[in-house]
Chain A
Amino acid sequence: MIPYLGRRVIQSLLILLGVSLITFALLYLLPADPVRQIAGRSATPQTVENIRRQLGLDQPFVVQYWHYLMSLLSGDLGRSYIQRSEVTELIVSRLPASLLLMVGAILCELLIGLTMGLIAAVKRGTTTDQTLMVASFVGVSAPQFVVGLLLLYVFAVRLGWFPIGGYGSWRHLVLPSLTMGILGAGWYARMMRSSMIDVLRQDYVRTARAKGLARGAILFRHALPNAILPVIAMVGIDIGIFMGGIVVVESVFGWPGIGQLAWQAIQRVDIPIIMGVTLVSAFAIVLGNLLADIVAPFIDPRIKLR
């Protein structure tokens, strides 16, 4: 276990290094000039040059990246060009909101997706099964901003059950979590269904029936743990997909997380913030995958971490 973790941590650091290099290079090659954004339209060429030198943007790419990497290793993500404050502070102040949204979304997708998949598998071939699968297909294919606006219209504007937007209570959390979760729920429903159908055909399920176990015990004790394994691995990958979705959903619901921060930063070519948010997202994805791998042996004793 310890050597395994050691190896995985080293791998993760290498991945983060790669992500930082690629993102930095892409931003460097971007035609938009961050200095023009900072200086404003009426600035003289002299001012522009001064700012450029001040920020170190006149240096060659390798030197710029080296400086960035060095301060990164000392835990410094740099200063925002526009907001004039530390990127670390900005991200830390917004991270809890995003994490809360992510947890809500994962709960939604697992709860909805796994339940739907389970029911569909047990009722395989019936109208219930077909209805659930059509629903999951809609979930998979609907764009998030459409789902978000639809939920807002029905549950906030029409019914008034939940606030239209903002942050603060659990009521604020429901609609954004649902919006984020519905896409994943569709995937999970389909995966869970096929995985469960496969498991229900296995010899050990027949053995369990031959022992005279009740339906519930067969389904939840014998079938479910086997069927859920591939789904667990998916949750790790999902965190990456969430990072994309979070930008859209936070904008629709006015949710003060890092997605909004990133959105604003992209519009104004605020490179330090874009870099910071990208690295934090990459870190979350790496961590999510690592967690999924660590959980797996607890469900399936055949898996050994080496």
Chain B
Amino acid sequence: MSAGVTSRPTGAATPVGSPAGRSVLEIAGLCVSVRGEDGEREVVSDLSLTLKRGETLCIAGESGSGKSMTALAIMQLLPQPAARISSGMIQLGEIDLATLNERQMQRIRGDRIAMIFQEPMTSLNPVLSIGRQLTESIEAHTNLSSAEARRRAIEALTAVRISEAESRLKQFPHELSGGMRQRVMIAMALALKPDVLIADEPTTALDVTVQGEVLELLRDLQREHGTSVILITHDMGVVAEMADRVIVMRHGRMVEEGKVADIFARPQADYTRELLAAVPRIGAGVGRRKSAEAERPGSVAVLNDLHVHFDLRGGFFGQVNRRVHAVEGVSFSIAPHETLALVGESGCGKSTTAKALAGLVPYQGDIVIGGRNLAGLGRDERKAVRRDVQMIFQDPYASLDPRMRVGDLVAEPLLIHGIASKQERRERVATLFERVGLSADQMELYPHEFSGGQRQRICIARALALRPKLIIADESVSALDVSVQARVLDLLKELQREFGIAYLFISHDMAVVENISDRVAVMYLGQIVEMGTRDQVFSNPRHPYTKRLIEAVPVPDPAKRRPRFARLDQEIPSSARKIGETPSKLVLQDLGNGHLVAVS
């Protein structure tokens, strides 16, 4: 941190030039309270911790545990005026941050404590260039000339391994991918070589292979600069990968603290044990019965050479001049009692495939549901067939109309398809509520009165209302906390056993997929690159992309830390192409027992 110290204006607080091992940041008895409709509520209670020089401290916990509030309290960025630090001290070297006013705090922020956030897509200002956003923080804390600040910005971008750093300065955030934006955020945070870096869920919004790269980058930079890092995450895999020490939080309180190896090997608190037990792990997909292969009377749904294109308009008369090849010749079938997982990273076409199957986007190719090809059917027949295919979406907050009672929401599909009388509908909805683990008297409530996990149960009840043969679950458990996620996954499995429903399970989370699926299809740029039973794909992945995808998942066991994650310094190409230019079609080769792999 030598360069940072010399260039710091003399008015700034005294740097802590302490030997390794001494604490950089000390929090004692921190309480944060938020004023709500029914008075003040403590969201962080009596939290004490120390952060040593050069160490990575992970604060782990589920939503509502107060981990983000703790981070914001350190930065004095608590949402105003509702939240405030009600007691405690936050000691950075000789200074108690809790007592500083806004102007004094401005000098600390960005210079001595920097922070990166979860959402790289929205954390950079869309109307300012990357260069401007980098140099302005350098200029705010040093008295470097603008040429020097620019040079420093280029250095920082090079440090986070952004190629052609100089020309990047002129770019705007929308011209960069999510992973690149997060690297820019890291460059911005580390440009002034702060003592402490707070990273609040820095990789949660990123694809798993990009997550691997960003985590490794953070680790390398920390090693080079000796920065102390507070890493906030809900992902125990990330904790195992990154942490020296771990603090587990729940309901605003510290539940357990210890060295990372101890926490994973010998968790003391019950909650930590539960949390670790709920984490989905690759290789732990308990011996499910040998899928439904034997009892496969006919497929519920068959997709044959499915294509979905989106036209992009441009040119003088706004004619179509480019086309996004979102789905490019996808074929698969799903049998009753079977779970087919569709995995891949953002933009690979997995959700678009699901939407085509649910009739939400126009497509080319054949979709056969229950033996009937949708293409040849009239409007009414198609509606009847579609009844057999229902969908559960990712965001349980956005997929329920906030102005409708949840009972009516679940009854709506019945109403639309004109099934049952009013009284019968009520009874069926009540049964459904009980089946998904809610009680019938909750039918009169509104969606905002439920937690995320409960809302996802309501969505499941709604999908079940028409007694479908196939349920498409599009990232349906991704937004849930691990413990809630585990219970929802159990519910889905139970319902499958009971009703013989088939699932098309779409997810980016390889561990969850391994846990629930019978068969797995891996998608890349609109095409399937590998497909087979779960064991075939996970134990014997053959396509390089599948291997990479599995390797990138952080393993929730500090003893199994990966050596180095092979970096891929290129972005996944875009699936938008000029008219007339068609992507080359991959040919799938059968390696035996239905294990299909793309050969080039």
Residue numbers of A with Cβ under 8 A of B are 3, 6-7, 202-204, 206-215, 217, 221-222, 225-226, 299-302, 306
Is A207 a contact partner of B140 (Cβ separation < 8 A)?
no
Whether A7 touches B137, Cβ cut-off 8 Å, given contacts A206-B77, A301-B127, is no
Is A207 a contact partner of B106 (Cβ separation < 8 A)?
no
Is B106 a contact partner of A214 (Cβ separation < 8 A)?
yes
The contact sample of 27 A-B pairs, CB cut-off 8 A, is A3-B315, A6-B316, A7-B317, A202-B122, A203-B123, A204-B126, A207-B117, A207-B123, A207-B125, A207-B185, A207-B188, A210-B77, A210-B110, A211-B137, A211-B188, A212-B107, A212-B108, A212-B109, A212-B110, A212-B140, A213-B136, A225-B127, A225-B128, A226-B125, A226-B126, A302-B127, A306-B314
Q: Mark B112-143, 1 if CB is under 8 A from A, else 0.
A: 00110101001111111100000011001100
Is B111 a contact partner of A204 (Cβ separation < 8 A)?
no
Residues of chain B within 8 A of A7, CB atoms compared? 316-318
Q: What is the minimal beta-carbon distance from B403 to any residue of chain A, in angstroms?
A: 22
Is A203 a contact partner of B77 (Cβ separation < 8 A)?
no
Q: Does B172 contact A (CB under 8 A)?
A: yes
Whether A217 touches B140, Cβ cut-off 8 Å, given contacts A206-B77, A211-B110, is yes
Whether A203 touches B316, Cβ cut-off 8 Å, given contacts A301-B172, A302-B174, is no
Q: Which of A6, A213, A217, A222 has the most CB of B within 10 A?
A: A213
Q: Does B482 contact A (CB under 8 A)?
A: no
Q: What is the minimal beta-carbon distance from A226 to any residue of chain B, in angstroms?
A: 6
Is A301 a contact partner of B110 (Cβ separation < 8 A)?
no
Q: Which of A204, A215, A221, A302 has the most CB of B within 10 A?
A: A204
Residues of chain A within 8 A of B316, CB atoms compared? 3, 6-7
Q: Does B75 contact A (CB under 8 A)?
A: yes
User: Which residue on B lies nearest to A225, using beta carbons?
Assistant: B127
User: Which residue on A lies nearest to B122, using beta carbons?
Assistant: A203
Is B140 a contact partner of A214 (Cβ separation < 8 A)?
yes
Residues of chain A within 8 A of B110, CB atoms compared? 210-213
The one of B128, B129, B172 in contact with A222, judged by C-beta atoms closer than 8 angstroms, is: B128
10 closest Cβ pairs, A-B complex? A212-B110, A212-B109, A211-B137, A211-B110, A203-B122, A204-B125, A301-B172, A210-B115, A3-B316, A203-B123
Q: Which of A6, A204, A207 has the most CB of B within 10 A?
A: A207
The one of A204, A209, A225, A306 in contact with B109, judged by C-beta atoms closer than 8 angstroms, is: A209
A7 to B136, CA, bound (A): 39
Q: A203-B123, A212-B137 are in contact. List 4 more A-B contacts (CB 8 A).
A: A204-B122, A213-B137, A226-B127, A306-B315
A202 to B137, CA, bound (A): 18
Residues of chain B within 8 A of A215, CB atoms compared? 102
Residues of chain A within 8 A of B75, CB atoms compared? 210
User: Which residue on A lies nearest to B107, using beta carbons?
Assistant: A212
User: Which residue on B lies nearest to A226, using beta carbons?
Assistant: B127
Is A207 a contact partner of B124 (Cβ separation < 8 A)?
yes
Q: What is the minimal beta-carbon distance from A225 to any residue of chain B, in angstroms?
A: 5
Residues of chain A within 8 A of B114, CB atoms compared? 210-211
Residues of chain A within 8 A of B102, CB atoms compared? 215
A211 to B137, CA, bound (A): 6
A204 to B123, CA, bound (A): 4
A206 to B108, CA, bound (A): 15
Q: What is the minimal beta-carbon distance from B117 to any residue of chain A, in angstroms?
A: 6
Is B109 a contact partner of A211 (Cβ separation < 8 A)?
yes
Residues of chain B within 8 A of A6, CB atoms compared? 316
Q: What is the minimal beta-carbon distance from A119 to any residue of chain B, in angstroms?
A: 17
Residues of chain A within 8 A of B106, CB atoms compared? 212-214
Which parts of B50-82 form the interface with A (CB within 8 Å)? 75, 77
User: Which residue on A lies nearest to B75, using beta carbons?
Assistant: A210
Residues of chain B within 8 A of A209, CB atoms compared? 77, 109
A217 to B125, CA, bound (A): 13
Q: What is the minimal beta-carbon distance from A298 to any residue of chain B, in angstroms?
A: 10
Which parts of B68-98 form the interface with A (CB within 8 Å)? 75, 77
Is B136 a contact partner of A203 (Cβ separation < 8 A)?
no
Residues of chain A within 8 A of B122, CB atoms compared? 202-204
Residues of chain B within 8 A of A206, CB atoms compared? 77, 117, 123
User: Which residue on B lies nearest to A208, using beta carbons?
Assistant: B125
Residues of chain B within 8 A of A213, CB atoms compared? 106, 110, 136-137, 140
User: Which residue on A lies nearest to B129, using beta carbons?
Assistant: A301
A52 to B579, CA, bound (A): 60
A203 to B201, CA, bound (A): 14
Which parts of B332-378 form the interface with A (CB within 8 Å)? none
Which parts of B304-334 form the interface with A (CB within 8 Å)? 313-318
Whether A222 touches B125, Cβ cut-off 8 Å, given contacts A210-B110, A212-B140, is yes
Q: What is the minimal beta-carbon distance from A186 to any residue of chain B, in angstroms?
A: 27
A225 to B125, CA, bound (A): 10
A299 to B105, CA, bound (A): 31
User: Which residue on A lies nearest to B175, using beta carbons?
Assistant: A301
Which parts of B541-591 form the interface with A (CB within 8 Å)? none
Is A221 a contact partner of B128 (Cβ separation < 8 A)?
yes
Whether A211 touches B123, Cβ cut-off 8 Å, given contacts A3-B315, A301-B172, A302-B174, is no
A193 to B249, CA, bound (A): 38
Is B111 a contact partner of A203 (Cβ separation < 8 A)?
no
Q: Which of A202, A208, A217, A306 has the most CB of B within 10 A?
A: A208
A225 to B128, CA, bound (A): 9
Q: What is the minimal beta-carbon distance from B224 to any residue of chain A, in angstroms?
A: 21
Q: What is the minimal beta-carbon distance from B169 to any residue of chain A, in angstroms?
A: 14
Whether A221 touches B123, Cβ cut-off 8 Å, given contacts A206-B117, A209-B77, A209-B109, is no
Whether A204 touches B136, Cβ cut-off 8 Å, given contacts A210-B115, A212-B109, is no
